[in-house]
Structure 1
Amino acid sequence: MTTVSDADDGLSEDLYIDRVEALSRATVRRSFDPYVDIDWEAPENALDRNDPRWQLDPESSPLGATDWYAEQPMQRRIDIGRWVTANTLKVTLQFEMMLIRGVVHYAGKMPNGSRVFRYLLHELTDECNHIQMFQEFINRTGEDVPGMRRGSRVIGPILGFIGGYANFILFMGVLCGEQPLHFQQTLQHRGAAHVPPLLNKVTYIHLAEEARHIAFADDHLAERVKSASRLKRAWYAFLFPFFLRWLIGEMIGPPRSFAREFGVPRRVFKAAYWRSAESRRMMAESAADVRRVAEDLGLRMAGTRWIWRVLGIEGRLPRYRGEPDRSPMSTRTTEMRTVAAWRLVPVAIMAGVALLVAPDGVKIIACAAAGAGVWAAYHVLRDRRGGVVGNQPFEWPRLFVWVAVCVAMIPAGGLIGLALVVFMIWALAEYMPTI
């Protein structure tokens, strides 16, 4: 199913209901039960911890595309791939638990006879089956993975509950969480021979049923945006890229505890998530279908497109869901460099403010540059000492340097200098993977 663009006045009420009913009928006609449709005890579905097919695919995994990963021994590549695969499924089931909270709350407010209520309950049944299916798979890998980062595990249930009241944001979350995972699992199925058969069966079920959920989210957002005021549209347009960037990071990027467990150097971890040109291309491409929907809804306004660029999720608009990227590699590389250059924009803005507003603007800029230099020098020295991994124990010296630079900047350059040094450090982090 496709979504009519906002420029065409979205979906009519009757067409929207017809599509909801069609999705309900499709769910009844073809749905899956993971404990009926998958023979978990079949010999071909056994998960071998030493199966070389666990290795990460460089076409779909940012870490798998790094030289560091390619240089690791075979068994280590297998162990890393098995852990990442299990953790991705754990993140997915945690995300679906979060959505269930919001959908249950939203459905409970619907009137008797609502056709949307019926579809939503079908969707909840699908999601519960997916949670059971993914957890069963994780249990059979033998990996004790955490899933989402700690902060997301804390705030996720709260956001799910709030989504029951703000249903536009709830289904924006559905779209921003499901589409990047849909993109990654689609790439996996294009190389189906290179992953364990059980993983293909699990993700096949998920892809088939999530396609319905994504279609409903597209249509529901198109229906809701018709009646939204200009202020609400501007608010939704502002939130959209932040939701998408957060959920891409959760769905595709492992938590930093993974880096410590496998000794991934900080430089490699940062490059893979998301500072190298190849990883940025993957991130931008995983956001392509959501960009298309946001464009159709009129939620990629001229005033908010810079946010998409700064967050690294700007790119082409596919003609249809899942359209492969056929643009020349040179064009993709240029786009990634443009994204990195946007880190320098706030530095230039704050430097301009210092020169225009403060009588000692040159001094403020010089002090901020010195402070950022101290911060960068600390990271260079730390990197030369070696042993820097993606999630090493808490660094008190690093905190001391950060506080010292910021505190010194207030008397030296005031609040303008403080803002300038923060943006300078942010820009340096783009070019120094150890920061």
Structure 2
Amino acid sequence: MTVDITADAPAEPTGPRADVGTSGDLDADMVAALCHASTRRGFDPFVDIDWDAPENLLDDNDPRWQLDPDIAPLAMTEWYARQPLERRIEMGRWITANILKVTLQFEMMLIRGVIHYAGTLQNGSVVFRYLLHELTDECHHIQMFQELVNRTGDDVPGMRRGSRFLGPILGFIGGYANIFLFIGVLCGEQPLHFQQTLQHRGATAVPPLLNMITAIHLAEEARHIAFANNYLAQRVSAVGRFRRTLYAVAFPIYLRWLIGEMIAPPRAFARQFGIPRRVFKAAYWRSASSRQMLAESAADVRRVAEDLGLYTVWSRCVWRLMGIDGRLPRYRGEPDRSQPLARMAEFRAVTRGRIAAAAIMAGVALGATPVGLRIIAVAAAGTAVWATYHVLRGRRGGVVGNQPFEWPRLAVWVVVCVAMIPAGGLIGLALVVCMVLAVAEYMPTL
């Protein structure tokens, strides 16, 4: 069965347009056109998808469940490539189901805020009409994603426990703080739209049912993103400097949280499949290739923040701190055409920056104390102990990704730090901590 996701050109909108919102400053023609498109071309997952068609039946051993290195960070690792085919298929199916579960949980969060906001709009508002279309779409997406999750047979948790607790609360608060709500809409939908676009470009490499669901979701989420862009463009331009500062900080924080939830699996996945800690950390997000993917997933939102005047010189520090700073695409969905050489240069720059941090602390030890050389030597020895511990544990396979706690790790850390106090005092302790965090902790992921 083929799903037609093309939309006819919107006809001239008709109906009441005297009031388009609580302040009447949204683009009435654009919102009315979105309403017309939603009415003209909508999807019902239990009408437009033949779930029991032979081509849509899910096979647990289908090799197309394997993760794509262009989309999934874990698939970029050598560890994943060395796993047996059955294991790779099982991990790919689990992650795919979990991403869909995270997505439907996120959409349930949005429904809480959007329905509250819609209830504050005046009679005759075309925005009210569109928001109800959007809520209808989201309900259909939730049904569609949950049905596929059920058919995979994987009991996936979706979001991490803290996000499942805080998410509904943030959605409710968003009903009052409308700009924050639509920043969250954009930060959640744009990265997923980016990931599913990449998946859809390789449609032959995924199960047909997953490809059909992705096509429907992409078609309808494009309208939601267009409305959120227009809403923020109109509302943000009218606020004062203090509120603009809050929104400029909220963008990267929301975005980094939601990308982490949607792309990085929870600790249950690492424990279930016995993924070594160093592999898990490299995949999410310490290796150069995974950091590049993290930054690219945020590219479209960076462009929106730039258009809104919220991607400023000072706010870029927050984006950079979150690891989601990077290029500004010229249009939504523009692929990254940078050369591998540029990515290698970025990797080398990160390495040089970490070594420079340790060198600065070593210079402080030399300049501030008469026993600077002794402090540096002992700090180097402590750093070597920490690095050796990580290498040995990684080779033995005894470190599993995202363990809640690890006593040997704490013991080594305490011994190294305590040994520095009589050898170099507080300056020596600060130096060894800096060297461990900047160099030794980084070494196992190289």
Q: Partner amino acid for 1:280?
A: R
1:304 to 301, 312, 315: 315
Offset at 1:351? 7.9
| Counterpart selection for 1:46 from 57, 70, 83 | 57
Counterpart in the other structure of 2:300 = 289
Give the corresponding residue for 1:258.
269
Aligned pairs for 1:16-31 (under 5 A) are 16-31=27-42
1:18-417 aligned at under 5 Å gives the runs 18-339=29-350, 375-392=386-403, 394-402=405-413
Partner of 2:13: none
Deviates further, 76-85 or 405-414: 405-414
Report if the CA contact (8 A) 2:391-2:444 is conserved: no
Note if contact 2:282-2:445 (Cα within 8 Å) is conserved in structure 1: no
**Structure 1 residues 46-55 or 243-252, which shifts more?**
243-252
3-state SS of 1:254 partner: coil
The letter for the 1-side match of 2:37 is: A
Q: What is the aligned residue count?
A: 422
Could you tell me which runs of 5 or more consecutive residues in structure 2 were left unpaired when the two chains were aligned.
Answer: 1-22
For residues 163 and 377 of structure 1, do their structure 2 counterparts lie closer, same or farther at Cα, with a shift above 3 Å needed? farther
For the 8 Å contact 2:384–2:440, the answer to whether it is kept is no
Deviation at 1:309, TM superposition (A): 2.4
Aligned residue for 1:222, secondary structure, equals helix
Equivalent-residue separation in structure 2 for 1:229 and 1:171 (angstroms): 18
Amino acid at match of 1:172: I
Aligned CA RMSD, in angstroms, stands at: 3.1
User: 2:29 & 2:375 partners in 1: Cα distance?
Assistant: 61
- Identity over aligned pairs, percent: 73
CA contact (8 A) 2:382 2:432 kept: yes
Deviation at 1:380, TM superposition (A): 3.8
Q: TM-score, normalising length from structure 2?
A: 0.84
Give me the whole-angstrom Cα distance separating, in 2, the residues matched to 1:355 and 1:239.
41
Letter in 1 for 2:153: G
Relative to structure 2, which stretch is displaced further, 250-259 or 305-314? 305-314
Tell me which of the two structures has the higher relative contact order, counting C-alpha pairs closer than 8 angstroms and 6 or more residues apart. 1
> How far did 1:354 drift?
8.7
Q: 1:14 to 1:103 in 2, by over 3 A?
A: closer
Give the Å deviation of 1:409.
8.1
Q: Structure 2: how far apart are the matches of 1:419 and 1:220?
A: 48
Structure 1 unaligned spans of 5+: 1-11
Q: Distance in 2 between matches of 1:233 and 1:348?
A: 38
Classify the secondary structure of the residue corresponding to 2:229. Answer: helix
C-alpha contact 1:343 1:430 (8 A) present in aligned 2: no
SS in 2 for 1:186: helix
Conserved? CA contact 2:175–2:181, under 8 Å = yes
Which deviations, in whole Å up to 9, do the C-alpha atoms of 1:203-222 show, x marking residues without a partner? 11111111111111111111
| Structure 1 pair 286–434 and aligned structure 2 pair: CA distance change class (3 A) | closer
Aligned to 1:4: none
Aligned in 2, Cα 1:214/1:354: closer, same or farther, shift over 3 Å?
farther
Cα 1:69–1:380 change in 2 (3 A) is: closer
Deviation at 1:166, TM superposition (A): 1.8
Instruction: Return closer, same or farther for 1:360/1:169 CA change in 2, 3 Å cut-off.
Output: farther
Residues 122 and 395 of structure 1: CA distance in aligned 2, closer, same or farther (over 3 Å): same
TM-score by length of 1: 0.86
State the Cα distance separating 1:266 from its structure 2 match.
1.6
Inter-partner Cα distance in structure 2 for 1:310 and 1:28: 42
Provide the C-alpha distance between the structure 2 equivalents of 1:388 and 1:397, rounded to a whole number of angstroms: 10
Cα pair distance change 1:198/1:351, threshold 3 Å: same
SS of residue matched to 2:157: coil
Give the secondary-structure state (helix, strand or coil) at the position aligned to 1:295: helix
Once the two structures are superposed, residues 388-432 of structure 1 have per-residue CA deviations (whole angstroms, 9 ceiling, x without a partner) of 221346312334455676788899766x88877665544347623
Asked if the contact 1:310/1:342 (under 8 Å) is kept, the reply is no
Contact 1:277 1:337 in 2 (8 A): no
Per-residue CA distance 1:357-389 (angstroms, 9 max, x = gap) = x88996998587777666545434433543222
**Counterparts of 2:243 and 2:356, CA distance in 1:** 28
Q: Counterpart of 2:177 in structure 1: which amino acid?
A: A
CA distance in 2, matches of 1:162, 1:372: 46
